[in-house]
Amino acid sequence: MTTTARTLVIIGAGFAGLCMAIKLKAAGIDDFVVLEAGAGVGGTWRDNTYPGCACDVPSHLYSFSFERRAAWSRKYSGQAEILEYLERCADKYRLRPHLRLNTRAEALRWDAAAGRWWVRTSEGVELSARIVVAGVGGLRVPEIPTIPGRERFSGATFHSARWDHGYALAGKRVAVIGTGASAIQFVPQIADKVAQLSLFQRTPPWILPKPDRAFTGVEKRIFAAAPGIERVYRASIYAQMEATALGFLRFPKILKAAEWLARRHIAAQIEDPALRAAVTPSFAIGCKRILISNDYYPALTRPNVEVVTDPVASIEEAAVVTRSGRRVAVDAIIYGTGFAVRDFLAPMTVVGRDGQELREAWRGGAEAFYGLAVAGFPNFFMIVGPNTGLGHNSMVVMIEAQVRYIRRCVQRILKEGLTALEVLPARQRAFNEGLRGRMRRTVWKSGCQSWYLDDQGENYTLWPGYTWEFVLRTRRPRAADFAAA
Ligand code: NAP
């Protein structure tokens, strides 16, 4: 096993890891590597290539504030365009020499005597670094439910985040399991190609119209020629999205207007009363992620598409069997069943001070300080860690705020020659008590089941506040929150 010493190791080359690398370089810190398990940069935008994959946050906001793009082709860009944007960032900011692709960080171990982290990678290399920043993303590990008989299925089967482009869906009988953000994007794209599509729906999502359109050439030229106008446009999207937080956080009744719109959307796009009833949710809007689409409901009205609400009970060699005993014969099963989100950094192991394992520290719930530092784990930072996800705005805003905070911590460690900078347990506890208190009033706790919540119904994924508030509160690390040695 070879060993290399670095000042800093970044894990992940998605929006978070790239942003960290860019900002470190801008601060004159160059001695770092970016470990990336995949074959390229882009993170979720490299992994998810399913037909119709796009972002449901407008691109002018779902992009770095310091790397504006006037040429976005449409309001809600597709996956390929977002990936190309991130590739270009990697080139422009000269990050390629720092990248170690196809290299998974498998285990991190804090060496208190040396004041360094040991990072074991899948390549059999042991790196040592003074500081580690994990930007591995929350929606990373595909979740395939353990349905009895699943392994007996002899047809094609894949998850939406690992789309099998080599499999020709044309003319096939296809089962899709799941009706979340991913499924509602790819179902309309494949519905007119397959012979029969059986969509197994456990819970219908709330869906609003998608105010999408291509930008005209004139608009793109204006954005390019007058960056001020693009900035105002970005700010207006931000303000609109941020305003919805009031409904999510404090006054779920405000969301009634959105529910009314969503019901109208169903009525306008679906004539059949039985199908209308089947796709109408019974939980409060906003409790699960609100989705946007103009082509999902029309796809469901096609004669070759059936929404199956009878729960999936088992899978056989060539069929999906429902609880009432119905056998739906299929050639392929596509899982649109989301991601394993609760084990934030898994399967990577992180062993901190006194041999403590992060997974153990989080047994009672994944608590951190602003989602980016954990007591007992010196010189270790996360981007998009616990309670920093959003239900209402652009994650890039949160990522930039966390990166700025971490960059300042890194600068302090280097400037003051610290061996260990660690958030104080009491500060972390107080922070989380405040967070839990606020969480109680949110719509996410209004009684639905979602990936936002753990088995105890506790929310360790979302930030229960406004993004401007997170940005302001993380402007500068406070010395009193940390123990420094
Ligand atoms: P998801 O929202 O978690 O949806 C998973 C779906 O699978 C749900 O409909 C769920 O039903 C269903 N399901 C899970 N296990 C099942 C089982 N055993 N039997 C039947 N159905 C089952 O996953 P996703 O669609 O991949 O999206 C995950 C997240 O990724 C989103 O919330 C969003 O944050 C992000 N995303 C974003 C975009 C975007 O436009 N920006 C696009 C795609 C994904 P239940 O609802 O009953 O649990």
Q: Would you state the pLDDT for residue 254? A: 87
pLDDT surpasses 90 at 253: no
Taking CB atoms and a 6 Å cutoff, what residues make up the pocket around ligand 1? 54-56, 139, 145, 160, 177-183, 185, 200, 202-203, 289, 312, 336-339, 449, 451
Residue 397 belongs to a domain with what CATH number?
3.50.50.60
* Average pLDDT of the segment spanning 378-403: 97
User: Which residues lie closer than 8 Å to 394 by C-beta, 6 or more apart?
Assistant: 57, 61, 62, 238, 241, 467
Classify residue 278 by burial, with Cβ atoms within 10 Å: 0-12, 13-18, 19+: middle
Same-domain pairing of 118 and 195: no
**Secondary element (H or E) of residue 144:** none
Cα 81 to averaged position of ligand 1 atoms, centre (Å): 23
- Nearest ligand 1 atom to alpha carbon 289: 32
- Nearest ligand 1 atom to alpha carbon 292: 40
- Nearest ligand 1 atom to alpha carbon 160: 26
- Nearest ligand 1 atom to alpha carbon 312: 19
Cα 227 to averaged position of ligand 1 atoms, centre (Å): 37
Final residue in a domain of this structure, among 317, 335, 353: 335
The encoded tokens of residue 131 equal: 């500081």
User: Which residues lie closer than 8 Å to 99 by C-beta, 6 or more apart?
Assistant: 13, 33, 34, 36, 41, 90
Cα 201 to averaged position of ligand 1 atoms, centre (Å): 11
Q: What percent of the chain stands above pLDDT 90?
A: 93
Single-letter amino acid, residue 417? G
Cα 128 to averaged position of ligand 1 atoms, centre (Å): 37
Residue 344: band (very low, low, confident or very high) from pLDDT cuts 50, 70, 90: confident
Q: Whole domain around residue 195: which residue ranges?
A: 150-205+244-335
| Mean per-residue pLDDT of the chain | 96
Q: Would you state the pLDDT for residue 125? A: 84
Final residue in a domain of this structure, among 335, 364, 388: 335
Listed residue (205, 236, 176) closest to 391, CA to CA: 205
Cα 428 to averaged position of ligand 1 atoms, centre (Å): 31
Pocket test for ligand 1, best of 44, 47, 75, 139 (most atoms within 8 A of CB): 139
Residues in the chain: 485
| Domain membership flag for residue 67 | no
Model pLDDT for residues 295-327, shown as the tens digit of each residue: 999 999 999 999 999 999 999 999 999 999 999
| Domain membership flag for residue 185 | yes
* Average pLDDT of the segment spanning 112-117: 96
Q: Would you state the pLDDT for residue 164? A: 98
Q: Would you state the pLDDT for residue 1? A: 56
Cα 288 to averaged position of ligand 1 atoms, centre (Å): 10
Same-domain pairing of 355 and 413: yes
Same-domain pairing of 105 and 197: no
What span, in angstroms and rounded, lies between the C-alpha atoms of 366 and 356?
14
Same-domain pairing of 324 and 375: no
* Nearest alpha carbon, ligand 1 atom 26: 338
| Domain membership flag for residue 421 | yes
Q: Would you state the pLDDT for residue 343? A: 79
pLDDT surpasses 60 at 272: yes
Cα 340 to averaged position of ligand 1 atoms, centre (Å): 10
Same-domain pairing of 301 and 192: yes
| Domain membership flag for residue 72 | no
Same-domain pairing of 174 and 301: yes
Q: Would you state the pLDDT for residue 233? A: 98
Q: Would you state the pLDDT for residue 2? A: 59
Same-domain pairing of 177 and 162: yes
Instruction: Please count the structural domains in the chain.
Output: 2
Q: Quickly tell me which residue has 């119209």 as its tokens.
A: 209
Sign of the four-CA dihedral 170, 172, 173, 174: negative
Final residue in a domain of this structure, among 335, 351, 368: 335
Same-domain pairing of 128 and 264: no
* Nearest alpha carbon, ligand 1 atom 17: 145
Q: Quickly tell me which residue has 């991601």 as its tokens.
A: 339
Residue 360: band (very low, low, confident or very high) from pLDDT cuts 50, 70, 90: very high
* Average pLDDT of the segment spanning 375-386: 98
pTM for the model stands at 0.97
Same-domain pairing of 411 and 324: no
What span, in angstroms and rounded, lies between the C-alpha atoms of 32 and 11?
11
* Nearest alpha carbon, ligand 1 atom 15: 337
- Nearest ligand 1 atom to alpha carbon 203: 47
- HSE-CB at 413 with a 13 A cutoff on CA atoms is 25
| Domain membership flag for residue 296 | yes
Q: Would you state the pLDDT for residue 482? A: 98
Listed residue (206, 173, 390) closest to 286, CA to CA: 206
Q: Strand pairing partners for 174?
A: 197, 332
* CB distance 407 to 484 below 8 Å: no
Pocket test for ligand 1, best of 74, 182, 449, 454 (most atoms within 8 A of CB): 182
* Average pLDDT of the segment spanning 451-462: 92
Q: Would you state the pLDDT for residue 4? A: 81
| Domain membership flag for residue 75 | no
| Domain membership flag for residue 403 | yes
Same-domain pairing of 472 and 358: yes
- Nearest ligand 1 atom to alpha carbon 338: 23
Cα 179 to averaged position of ligand 1 atoms, centre (Å): 6
Cα 335 to averaged position of ligand 1 atoms, centre (Å): 10
| Domain membership flag for residue 88 | no
Same-domain pairing of 186 and 310: yes
Same-domain pairing of 104 and 181: no
